[in-house]
């Protein structure tokens, strides 16, 4: 196993942990253990599941994951199974039942805890509370509080094993306030502040030998002020492991920051992180970790677990009657790749926004100057061939209502200046309809994007003119940092979802042809 006690930073962390243990409250009985004996804990973890109930391209699947978990439990006496958040929002099958299938499967696998991710706040608070009540496992977040000051979910759990005690606390990124729709009654506490408090409680009050942060924070900084798991590790000592979620990061080995290992298992259950702690005299002496692939298009290592598959079957049968209806065909694949909708113009983004313009002008008989949506609203590719309702719903899983809004040209310019400033890779990165054309220049000394050559309908924007455009309710509420839209009061809710608009557009066109036309040009930066 890989030793982690070699670096000075790690020695400092271990010393802090020992100091916490020595000052522990006498009210909590110590765990019985033999002096000098090595004990082992297996940590299995997932993150960013996003409703992937069934295998996707041969990979993942809840029943397949369950088989792997059962195999590990049969071989290891001490197993901790945890998830770093974002169970919600993904496949049409999961969305149809508001995550009920996923939550039941997690319970059947014996998850010990799941962190609240930002996508747990896509639905109304009542939906999340219903999900929490349904679950046989605790949801964790030490930094989301209700109006009365109490925690929305459990802040932490403590588990006793033969020879050691483990504490796990959850964290939810404060980016949730910009990129999701949390209830206004909720308060989000700074992640570092909450983390330091949890370490103190788990070390001193709960006398935990191993402390794990189940952190839906992300490796990648999407915006100024965001606390990533790396920054968290730098500023919060006394944590033995950070299990990261949010950025869908794939790692082949732990990344150590300030002596603390950070791990992540990519996305959708395509991998399960598999780590092992060695613990002697209540101190972590080593940690090893690897990602385990849950099948792929060529290799099916894990067959579906019969019990979980049987639970899923009736849900799928009922959903198939509606979701499997073919609505159109595609001439070729609409690519998505590594979340390309967040990086550059893609054919799928063009089609979605052109569909919105078609619907407003043809079905509603109203005039709009352009349409746009956030790239993070688009979640996967469309394959070549027959396209079903299910596939379009999986591309556009959010229940986003379409708005028509009117703004002065000067504000439209400000809107696109904000769009150009969004880092490539962030969900706020815009996809637009054919009427809007512009260049984002990333070649400046600071590397930040600047707007150039903006035209609407082939003409430069008139600052004194009025422009009507189409977007979704999430952005209209200021989501993803679009504060300029939240300040705009001239808006009309069409009471139609973007998903239904694209389905109607596909049915009308009968065949969809993937193509781009240069409406978004990129200078410098990522173009892949």
Domain CATH code at residue 274: 3.60.21.10
Please name the residue that has the structure tokens 């952005």. 475
Q: Note the pLDDT tens digit of each residue in 272-281.
A: 999 999 999 9
CA distances from 202 to 38, 50, 356, 407 (A): 22, 30, 51, 52
36 falls within a domain: no
- 122, 141: one domain: yes
Domain CATH code at residue 466: 3.90.780.10
How many whole angstroms separate alpha carbon 135 and alpha carbon 489? 40
Assign 3-class secondary structure to 286-353.
EEEEEEEECCCCCCCCCCCCHHHHHHHHHHHHHHHHHHCCEEEEECCCECCCCCHHHCCCCHHHHHHH
Number of domains in the chain: 2
How many whole angstroms separate alpha carbon 81 and alpha carbon 69? 8
Q: Note the pLDDT tens digit of each residue in 379-402.
A: 999 999 999 999 999 999 988 889
End of a domain among 268, 295, 315? 315
Q: Note the pLDDT tens digit of each residue in 302-321.
A: 999 999 999 999 999 998 88
Residues 6+ apart with CB under 8 A from 224: none
Which tokens go with 203? 């070390």
- 308, 348: one domain: no
50 falls within a domain: no
Q: What percent of the chain has pLDDT over 70?
A: 94
SS3 state at 493? strand
For residue 174, name the pLDDT band (cuts at 50, 70, 90): very high
| CB-CB contact of 276 with 43 (8 Å) | yes
Beta bridge pairs of residue 389: none
- 298, 344: one domain: no
33 falls within a domain: no
What is the model's pTM? Answer: 0.77
48 falls within a domain: no
- 142, 196: one domain: yes
**Listed residue (294, 336, 373, 352) closest to 504, CA to CA:** 352
Instruction: Look at residue 156 in the predicted model and tell me its pLDDT.
Output: 98
- 271, 404: one domain: no
Domain that holds residue 403: 325-523
SS3 state at 54? coil
User: In whole numbers, what is the pLDDT of the chain averaged over residues?
Assistant: 92
Q: Note the pLDDT tens digit of each residue in 83-122.
A: 999 999 888 889 889 999 999 999 999 999 999 999 999 8
- 307, 334: one domain: no
- 430, 309: one domain: no
- 272, 360: one domain: no
Q: What percent of the chain has pLDDT over 90?
A: 82
- 419, 339: one domain: yes
- 342, 409: one domain: yes
- 222, 202: one domain: yes
- 406, 276: one domain: no
271 falls within a domain: yes
């Amino acid at each position: 196993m890989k030793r982690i006690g070699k670096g000075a930073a790690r020695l400092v962390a271990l010393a802090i942990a020992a100091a916490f243990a020595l000052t522990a409250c006498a009210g909590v009985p110590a765990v019985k253990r033999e002096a000098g004996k090595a004990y082992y804990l297996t940590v299995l973890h997932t993150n960013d599941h996003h409703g992937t109930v069934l295998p996707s391209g041969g990979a993942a699947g809840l029943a397949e994951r369950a088989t792997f978990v059962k195999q590990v439990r049969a071989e290891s006496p001490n197993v901790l199974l945890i998830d770093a958040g974002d169970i919600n929002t993904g496949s049409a099958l999961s969305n149809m039942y508001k995550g009920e299938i996923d939550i039941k499967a997690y319970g059947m696998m014996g998850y010990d805890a799941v962190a609240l991710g930002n996508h747990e706040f896509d639905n109304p608070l009542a939906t999340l509370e219903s999900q929490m009540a349904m679950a046989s496992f605790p949801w964790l977040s030490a930094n989301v509080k209700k109006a009365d000051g109490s925690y929305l979910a459990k802040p932490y759990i403590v588990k006793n094993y033969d020879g050691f005690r483990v504490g796990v606390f959850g964290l939810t990124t404060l980016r949730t306030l910009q990129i999701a729709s949390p209830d206004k009654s909720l308060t989000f506490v700074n992640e570092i502040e909450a983390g330091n408090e949890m370490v103190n409680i788990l070390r001193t009050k709960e006398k935990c030998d191993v402390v794990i942060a189940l952190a839906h924070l992300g490796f990648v900084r999407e915006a100024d002020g965001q606390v990533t798991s790396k920054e968290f590790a730098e500023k919060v000592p006394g944590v033995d492991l950070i299990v990261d979620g949010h950025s869908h990061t794939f790692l082949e080995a732990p990344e150590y920051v300030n002596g603390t290992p950070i791990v992540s298992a990519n996305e959708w259950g395509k991998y399960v992180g598999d780590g092992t702690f060695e613990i002697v005299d209540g101190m972590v002496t080593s940690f090893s970790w690897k990602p385990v692939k849950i099948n792929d298009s060529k290799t099916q290592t894990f067959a579906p677990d019969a019990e979980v598959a049987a639970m899923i079957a009736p849900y799928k049968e009922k959903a198939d009657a509606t979701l499997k209806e073919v609505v159109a065909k595609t001439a070729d694949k609409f690519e998505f790749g590594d979340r390309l909708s967040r990086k550059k113009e893609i054919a799928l983004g063009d089609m979605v926004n052109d569909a919105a313009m078609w619907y407003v002008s043809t079905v509603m008989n109203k005039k709009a100057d352009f349409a746009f949506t956030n790239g993070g609203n688009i979640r996967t590719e469309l394959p070549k061939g027959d396209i079903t309702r299910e596939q379009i719903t999986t591309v556009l899983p959010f229940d986003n209502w379409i708005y028509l809004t009117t703004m002065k040209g000067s504000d439209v310019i400000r809107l696109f200046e904000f769009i150009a400033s969004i880092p490539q890779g962030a969900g706020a990165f815009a996809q637009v309809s054919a009427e809007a054309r512009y260049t984002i220049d990333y070649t400046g000394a600071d590397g930040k994007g600047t707007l150039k050559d903006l035209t609407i309908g082939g003409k430069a924007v008139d600052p004194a003119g009025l422009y009507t455009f189409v977007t979704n309710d999430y952005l209209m509420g200021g989501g993803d940092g679009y504060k300029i839209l939240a300040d705009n009061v001239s808006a009309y809710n069409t009471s139609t979802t973007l998903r239904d608009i694209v389905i109607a557009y596909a049915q009308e066109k009968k065949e969809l042809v993937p193509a781009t036309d240069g409406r978004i040009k990129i200078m410098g930066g990522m173009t892949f």
